[in-house]
Homo-oligomer: A and B are copies of this chain.
């Protein structure tokens, strides 16, 4: 049986003209590996709006795995995130001018959700393929964490069997030509996210008999 992995990437923000997350995931759109189909969707770098677009995409595609991807400028590694926290706290405005300070994302909801991706296995697989990777314990408090939290909250509330999580990726080299920051090439990012998608979808197969689904 074919599995579906939905990858999302953001549009550019914070003065950058590209966003490596969208640049990367769009390259994987439509690819099928080991019976796993990858679908890519763009989401806006906007609190709440990003989550609405994500939910619509989930309802449309009925994926088995959802991996949201975002830029973490300054990190040298691809970093699967461990945990999403129930707070918006922005230092800069999102692409819609919103700048929430210490606001809960969702009332009557848990303080935090764990990623349900096999993050350690993903990191291990990436490293075995020569890709710099490590676990991150914080997705920040901007739109990346917001979307991650909303994803996990949606999965939780809908009692879905979808596996979900978030992966931060570094700048692309062309974003750092004149700033002294680490970067990774598009090829490496594409390969890293392909590994993440396949590892998450396969892991899923390994550990459960049958997957429930929203659709």
Contact = CB atoms under 8 A, between A and B. Distances in A.
Interface in A146-182: 173-174, 176-178, 180-182
Contact of A77 (B77, B133, B134, B180): B180
Interface string A46-71: 00000000000000000000000000
A77 to B, nearest CB: 7
30 contacts: A76-B176, A76-B181, A76-B182, A76-B183, A77-B176, A77-B180, A82-B85, A82-B87, A83-B85, A83-B112, A89-B135, A110-B111, A111-B114, A126-B177, A127-B177, A127-B178, A132-B173, A132-B183, A134-B178, A134-B180, A137-B140, A137-B141, A138-B138, A173-B185, A182-B182, A182-B183, A185-B185, A185-B187, A185-B188, A187-B187
Copy count, this protein chain: 4
